[in-house]
Amino acid sequence: MLRITKDKPIELMQCDNERAIRMKVGSLHCMLSNLTIIRKLWNKRVKSASKELRRGWIKCVIETHQANQDLYIRVMNGLL
């Protein structure tokens, strides 16, 4: 698995790429682990991309998944 650290380059997802990732992550249950989400969405296109792009993809997937988890927790606790 790639490590995402500040000293390694990351190519951020933009526009349609980010939207597609958000849609795919949104279709999975929000209480799955980050690793499970990445494994379910990993495909040949991501695997064949550059390391910088893969880091950006992983970062976008994790950020989206964590935002979904936060929303779920706030809704279930009656905070929204």
Task: Render pLDDT for 53-79 as a digit per residue (tens, 0 to 9).
Answer: 999 999 999 999 999 999 999 999 998
Q: Are 54 and 37 in contact (CB under 8 A)?
A: no
- pLDDT-derived band at 1, boundaries 50, 70, 90: low
How far CA 33 is from CA of 9, 28, 74, in Å, comes to 25, 11, 18
Q: Are 46 and 4 in contact (CB under 8 A)?
A: no
Residue 37, number of CB atoms within 10 A of its CB: 22
Q: Residue type for 48, please?
A: S
Asked if residue 47 has pLDDT above 70, the reply is: yes
SS3 40: helix
Asked if residue 26 has pLDDT above 80, the reply is: yes
Against a cut of 0.75, is the pTM above it? yes
